[in-house]
Amino acid sequence: MPLPITPDQEVYVRQRLYMAGRQAQSLGVAGFQVDEKGPGDFVTTVDRALDAYLAEQFRAIFPGEALVTEEDAASRAIYAEEAGRLWCIDPIDGTDDFIHGRPHYALMVGLLENYVPQAGWVYAPVLDRFYFGGPGWGLYLAQGGRVTELKPQRPDVAALALAIGYKDRKRFGAALVESLPGVDFTSLGSFGLKVLEVVQGRAAAYVYLNRRVKVWDTAGPIALAQAAGLVCCDLEGRSLGFRPEDVDLTSLAHRQTILIGWPDSVEHLRHQISAAVASVV
């Protein structure tokens, strides 16, 4: 499958994300306000400013195409109605890292077509790493002014590193250690950057268990994972779904647990992780 947008449009997407990333860095230094949307769910004035900026830019280059952004709750209504092309924008993925001055946050965009991930862009401005690509299109890294093809790397078979978020580790960590002897946990703030740890062989898999992750968190990273040849499924082995029946239509949170990893290791890990989760819940 070729690039799902024109080359000029793809360059435009990256340019606007670069600009937004620079804004995130400068506004992060200048100071910002933090609000709590829900328990443990924080948003800053920078999130909101970048959300509005990116929405405006994408509407200009893709007029008439559906758009869902994290900080525009009204935009979620289109999700159940739009079976064509749908853009999902997360202005800052890993807001907690951004708030605390840590580098592992990212600006993310994903393109769904008929609720299937087609392309993704994940930009970590502090790290100067911009990942982009999609199934059948390829996988690329822009860094230091150069764009190179990103070659997926399988993890070291002698080590078992599992990417997992703080909340899941707090709840399930002890059970996972018992089920997976020798497991080593790794965690970066952004969902997208955790997925890319697996793509680059620094983790065997990424597991997400608390069913709070939203489509703007997943659309772009899942497109990149699939471009790398990874399996994206739940603990029952079902492919991760994006159709309206697969998400909560109020929040756009996925109803499934999520496991992302290499095909030859996912099945083995899936059963062991399932056993660990069952022992807790």
Does 187 share its domain with 275?
yes
Q: What is the pLDDT of residues 124-165, one digit of tens each?
A: 999 999 999 999 999 999 999 999 999 999 987 667 899 999
Does 224 share its domain with 247?
yes
- In the predicted model, is pLDDT for residue 1 greater than 60? no
pTM: 0.95
The last residue of a domain, from among 149, 173, 203: 149
Say if 2 falls within a structural domain. Answer: no
In this structure, are residues 48 and 32 in contact, taking their beta carbons and an 8 Å threshold?
A: no
What is the CATH classification number for the domain harbouring 134? 3.30.540.10
Q: Domain limits at 99?
A: 7-149
Does 41 share its domain with 143?
yes
What is the CATH classification number for the domain harbouring 245? 3.40.190.80
Which of the four pLDDT bands, split at 50, 70 and 90, describes residue 7? very high
Split into its structural domains, the chain has a count of: 2
In this structure, are residues 111 and 87 in contact, taking their beta carbons and an 8 Å threshold?
A: yes
> Which among 235, 241, 239, 270 is positioned nearest to 254, based on CA atoms?
241
**Confidence (pLDDT) at 41:** 82
Which of the four pLDDT bands, split at 50, 70 and 90, describes residue 189? confident
Does 105 share its domain with 194?
no
